[in-house]
Structure 1
């Protein structure tokens, strides 16, 4: 059975070889480099322990250095599943979500037609290149010079010129014996609606040949020289060779450069790609003037696991980024994502390179943000979240976005990242508004929140030594923080109170922020995050302070009941102290004349609440016995002591 032209290419585009092979082998993590598509494993075709089976994911081929087995995804399925060619195609098509086309008796004929059209396109390339050297192209050459495109660059990208004539290319190809049907089928001419001779598709335009991944010219892009032309840029129409939604400008050279380790950059147009390539960024492509399609996204992921989308920093560029995010979310897989590099407002990569050089572009690329960050920034930019309803609306929008992600693991990680950013926005004292644009000038360094300032000498000192009038409050805060660090499982129970807690020092605020963000990962991870952000000395000073070290929660980490008791008591005391202070301050304002009974009653109630809070609110559940000398002895502790003496065979005195 013959398959339609392009079906196998589409099948290989949808599936990476490492995905197909990965079902049958265990990758060697020491030798494999997933980022470069360079994978190694013991060979599935012969018995061995060493990893001599090599998969080149970008080229789509495998080879075993032991038994010399080699092939592509189709041959791998045929050999491992013991099936025929068409059965292997059906297996792979099912995994890729494609339907195997029915038998097409004209398949070979179409393949021959494609070969003939490729030859016609190559003749057109030569014609356009020659025309750029004629006198009629002086204005076009001047434009290219002003854009900084040297002759070597023009040769590298085969830039040409379509003369301002109705049948310039038509007459040239016809004179070479090319039939009218082939010229029209290649999209190089259009039939006249007035019954006359067909006319050239491209006229008075600078021409950019568009080649597929195999280097075959499949279409052209033309930049108008007439400023009054209706279309500044024009692409070839859809043909047997050209499908705009499945093509990328500079595909082949970019794939080769990315295979050598260069980051894949996705720009908007031909000139951007050419400027980037000449600036040293060899792995760059463009989606031919349209929004990126799902097929183009799969092509990009075949080249690189994490393409960098370079967009203009204006409103149109940001809208394009949002459309791409909506397209990409359902297609995300483990290891496959996007990063976004937003250019300075009003500039594209070509402008930036000509104005400030490749170093400026490199800085923007280095600061590229992950997709989850741009998704978050888009939803909060310029908005105020000063009410529960607005916060709920934000949560609803983000949940809808997250539900687009099909992979549950990726969806979970996105949810955690958004939770972290939400905490940073709504944490106590930070307000609920976001008016700054994260892509504004000077804000493109690290996309993440900057780390807290390193601990100074004053913050490394003990709490008592550094305390002033708020010594008692700081001590209570320290006990709460230490209890949370030692038993982070209880954080969820106090999350609301901790978010609203107004602490007395910036260091305590930093500790609480870290606890609220990382407590769900367990005590070990939480301590690592605290040490990374605040330093080992800061943590040791907190836990080693005398009033903290003696607390049962620190001496018995992980005791949930003890931690719940201690934290709830300390929070109640802090709340009561704060309430009393507020009442005193308000009463002082009211004491302009003589104090009335209402003022003294309010102060009395606040003082009583404070005194009650100072006492333990939890019943002592221990049982006691009375010793001969009248002292109370805990029955549990006495039993434990008797058991220990029994093991030591010690006889107690009567």
Structure 2
């Protein structure tokens, strides 16, 4: 509907915003001056104890000095009641005694038709409620009693009963003046396909009225009570009032309750909603017997930015969860999320409440899982990831799934979280049982070069790395910073190579927090940059946006990095690949060797020296291998091996000198 110029201004002038807001807040008597139209209260949009929410009744606006929410009476209704724009206009117009502008004839005809259908539906609601108290509803009342529904709950949700009989409702409503055609159009009465007289669509069923956001009865959900009666659950057909894929059970009451609670629960059916309401969880809605649609999901997000979806923890429930995730991923954005509360297998919210009380259900909701947890568990649980091929397949599946997230910033956060989980999953154990060499002779040098221990390739533990830096390991920090700068500079200048080293970049520890941020930003921005006309330029720009400064300014600060032509943008790809590979290998080996040395020193202190010689010799051998491999390929020699051997022998000698002499 289009509104004429000046209508909204007239509406705002006629309605007191203080009266509209006053229904939701308690004014602070010390700060408010009613005579001036100046009101203060705790903000209804965020939790606070002080009165920072200000309403200027004369100007018709509100403003919160805490969360900066602002607007007029229309926006206040839309935010606090989750109303649409025209719904808020209609509500305020009724309050102000204003008539809405006349609609075009076609729209007026549709409105009149909808009104007639809504009146028929309301009359049916009252008929079914009355029947629940009659003699024919004995089995229905017994069923509701077994489900533990209190009388007040039955009245609140307007639960009724459709008695057995072919035309009882039809006769009742036609006697009240409703046309048979309207009853068919409303979905209350059916017509046989082969022709014949109309009949009541619902018979011998417990009836649950479905209302829209405006409170109109638009459809029914019905449950069979006779043994073998099929289908067990039956909904109204699609009508001018009822769009099954857009409607939600209990949306009206849940809208108000969700605002007060700051939360929303999405269940599978109307009995779940009713059970939660009896447990004091009134902010619950449910789809109508089918999987959640995109339109329903949009409506759910209008009620709450992070609803909790409660599903059975069995295979079917998890399947429903993952179908919803597939639907939600492209629609996600900041302020739009989902969490999942997985119930015990074979139980629905009604079962949980009946067996464990409201506390059990509240606990399950409070322990709800974010979407990323279900995405990760589905791809990894029960999987054997013991080969590069299987791990690569895992990466492919996860990347494909996250690629459907349209919001670039949110996608980057998901990718970062997946990288963290992946690194933890594939992390090498901290300690492994290894054979102890008992010869007493350190085994190092070139003989050990082909048998590098896994501990050197593994990343040092965070506490070990912190100890190394904290105790001032000679030259470690400076040397690591230069190599980390070189690795990142090469990857930014050659994004296509960064994809080849992505796994190693994720795992290698960075000793410099500022460079670690650049690394994380690089990995998050890499996929998008590769599709740009100039990937290197786009990658540098994206990293700069995430970190707040041009990354190459920091990375090229060390002279050794600036002088390395193999890391520049003009370098040949193969040369750059070698350079990045060598820096990654050396960096991992250096940190690994330092970590092993520190661990060995701890063993000395703890007198665990049986495996000490082996540990130190292998650590020295590993670093020698990493440092001399590029030199050997270039036909050069090195004195490093002798130096490292002397360091090893010196440490062992110091250890032996501290041992108590035996007699």
TM over 0.5: yes
- Post-superposition CA distance 1:311-361 (Å, at most 9, x none): 111111111111111111111121111111111111111100000011111
The question of whether the paired residues in 2 share the 8 Å contact of 1:301 and 1:336 is answered with yes
Structure 1 residue aligned with 2:542: none
CA contact (8 A) 2:77 2:88 kept: no
Superposition pairs for residues 194-205 of structure 1, below 5 Å?
Answer: 194-205=194-205
Decide which of 65, 78, 98 is 1:60's aligned counterpart. 78
Q: Specify the alignment match of 1:534 in structure 2.
A: none
In structure 2, distance between residues paired with 1:330 and 1:460: 39
1:614-633, CA deviations, whole angstroms, 9 ceiling, x for partnerless residues? 589xxxxxxxxxxxxxxxxx
Q: Name structure 1 gaps, 5 residues minimum.
A: 4-29, 63-70, 77-102, 432-452, 465-473, 502-511, 526-556, 586-607, 617-654
CA drift at 1:409: 1.0
User: Could you say which structure has the greater relative contact order, defined with CA pairs below 8 angstroms and 6 or more residues apart?
Assistant: 2
The equivalent residue for 2:347 is 347
Distance in structure 2 (CA, Å) of the matches to 1:478 and 1:290? 65
Residue 383 of structure 1 corresponds to: 383
Aligned to 2:248: 248
- Classify 1:481/1:292 alpha carbon distance in 2 versus 1 (closer, same or farther; 3 Å): farther
Check 1:612–1:292 CA distance in 2 against 1; reply closer, same or farther (3 A cut). same
The equivalent of 2:516 in structure 1 is 520
The equivalent residue for 1:581 is 614
- Equivalent residues of 2:468, 2:594 under 8 A apart: no
User: How many Å separate the matches in 2 of 1:380 and 1:427?
Assistant: 15
CA gap 1:174/1:483 in 2 versus in 1, 3 angstroms: farther
**Residues in 1 aligned to 2:429 and 2:472: alpha-carbon distance in whole angstroms:** 20
- Cα distance change on mapping 1:350 and 1:487 into 2, 3 Å: farther
Q: What's the CA shift string for 1:202-239, capped at 9, x where partnerless? A: 11100000000111100000000123122111100000
Distance in 1 (alpha carbons) for counterparts of 2:88 and 2:262: 30
Structure 1 residues 482-539: Cα deviation after superposition (integer angstroms, max 9, x where no partner): 97699975786999789989xxxxxxxxxx6x9699963279x9xxxxxxxxxxxxxx
Partner residue, 1:305: 305
Pair 1:206 & 2:206 matched = yes
Look up the match of 2:178: 178
Does the residue aligned with 2:207 lie in a helix, a strand or coil?
strand
Q: 1:320 to 1:350 in 2, by over 3 A?
A: same
Contact 1:423–1:517 under 8 Å retained in 2: no
Tell me the equivalent position of 1:13.
none
Cα distance change of structure 1 residues 422 and 515 upon mapping to structure 2, 3 Å threshold: farther
Structure 2 match to 1:611? 642
Residues 476, 574 of structure 1: 8 Å contact kept: no
Q: Give 2:146's aligned residue.
A: 146
Distance 1:462 1:395 in 2: 33
The residue matched to 1:384 in structure 2 has which SS? coil
Give the equivalent residue in structure 1 for 2:577. Answer: none
Partner Cα separation in structure 2 for residue 247 and residue 146 of structure 1? 28
- In structure 2, do the counterparts of structure 1 residues 316 and 41 end up closer, same or farther at CA, with 3 Å as the change threshold? farther
Q: Does the 8 Å contact 1:291/1:320 carry over to 2?
A: yes
Distance 1:261 1:488 in 2: 48
Cα deviation for residue 427 of structure 1 reads: 1.4
Would the aligned equivalents of 2:262 and 2:304 in 1 still touch at CA under 8 Å? no
Give the structure-1-normalised TM-score.
0.60
CA contact 1:207–1:222 (8 Å) conserved in 2: yes
SS in 2 for 1:342: strand
Q: Following TM superposition, by how much is the alpha carbon of 1:460 offset from its aligned partner in structure 2, in angstroms? A: 14
Shift of 1:560: 5.6
Gaps of 5+ in 2: 4-41, 90-102, 432-460, 491-500, 522-554, 562-582, 601-611, 619-638, 648-663
CA–CA distance in structure 2, aligned partners of residues 175 and 520 of structure 1: 78
Counterpart Cα distance in 1 of 2:477 and 2:505: 10
Partner-residue secondary structure (3-state), 1:289: coil
User: 1:114 and 1:423, CA in 2 relative to 1: closer, same or farther beyond 3 A?
Assistant: same
SS in 2 for 1:427: coil
Q: 2:605 is matched with which residue?
A: none
Partner of 1:334: 334
Q: CA RMSD in A?
A: 4.9
Mapped pair 1:369 → 2:369: yes
2:590 corresponds to 1:570: yes
Distance 1:305 1:186 in 2: 34
Whole-angstrom CA distance in 1 between matches of 2:370 and 2:142: 40
Relative distance call for 1:560 and 1:572 in structure 2 (3 A) is farther
Deviates more, 1:192-201 or 1:238-247: 192-201
Find the aligned partners of 2:353 and 2:62 in 1 and give their Cα distance. 52
1:135–1:47 CA distance, 2 compared to 1 (3 A): closer
Which position in structure 2 is the counterpart of 1:68? none
Question: Which structure 2 residues correspond to residues 481-630 of structure 1 after superposition, within 5 A?
Answer: 520-521=516-517, 570-571=590-591, 581=614, 610-611=641-642, 613=644
Please give the alpha-carbon distance, in whole angstroms, between the structure 1 residues aligned to 2:62 and 2:153.
Answer: 50
In the aligned structure 2, how far is the partner of 1:584 from the partner of 1:202?
Answer: 83
- Go from structure 1 to structure 2 and tell me whether the alpha carbon gap of 1:128 and 1:73 turns closer, same or farther (over 3 Å shift): closer
Residues 39 and 54, structure 1, Cα contact 8 Å, conserved in 2? no
Residues 96-149 of structure 1: CA distance to partner in whole angstroms, max 9, x if unpaired?
xxxxxxx98532111101001111001000110011011111011001001000
1:424 and 1:460 map into 2 onto residues whose CA distance is 17
Aligned to 1:288, the other structure's residue is in SS state coil
2:159 matched to 1:159?
yes
Deviations 1:544-570 (A, max 9, x none): xxxxxxxxxxxxx99867998995773
Question: Structure 1 residues 54 and 609, CA, compared in 2 at 3 Å: closer, same or farther?
Answer: same
Displaced runs of 4 or more, over 6 A: 38-43, 45-52, 73-76, 459-464, 474-479, 485-488, 490-501, 514-519, 561-566, 574-580, 582-585
User: What is the alpha-carbon distance in structure 1 between the residues aligned to residue 243 and residue 135 of structure 2?
Assistant: 34
Asked whether the 8 Å contact 1:313–1:346 carries over to 2, the reply is yes
Moved more, 121-130 or 573-582: 573-582
Contact 1:249 1:288 in 2 (8 A): yes
**Conserved 8 A contact 2:213-2:251:** yes
List aligned pairs for 1:7-26, cutoff 5 A. Answer: none
Aligned to 1:406: 406
Residue matched to 2:564: none
Residues 171 and 386 of structure 1, relative CA distance in 2, 3 Å threshold: same
Q: Is the 8 A contact 1:41 1:54 kept in 2?
A: no
Q: Secondary structure at the match of 1:340?
A: strand
Cα offset for 1:291?
Answer: 0.5
Q: In structure 2, what is the equivalent of residue 637 of structure 1?
A: none
Tell me the distance in 1 between the aligned counterparts of 2:202 and 2:324.
Answer: 30
TM-score by length of 2: 0.59
Measure, in 1, the Cα distance between the counterparts of 2:322 and 2:643: 56
Deviations 1:421-457 (A, max 9, x none): 11111112289xxxxxxxxxxxxxxxxxxxxx999xx
| CA pair 273-120 structure 1, distance change in 2 beyond 3 A | same
How far apart in 1 are the matches of 2:114 and 2:79? Answer: 25
Q: Which residue does 1:314 correspond to in 2?
A: 314
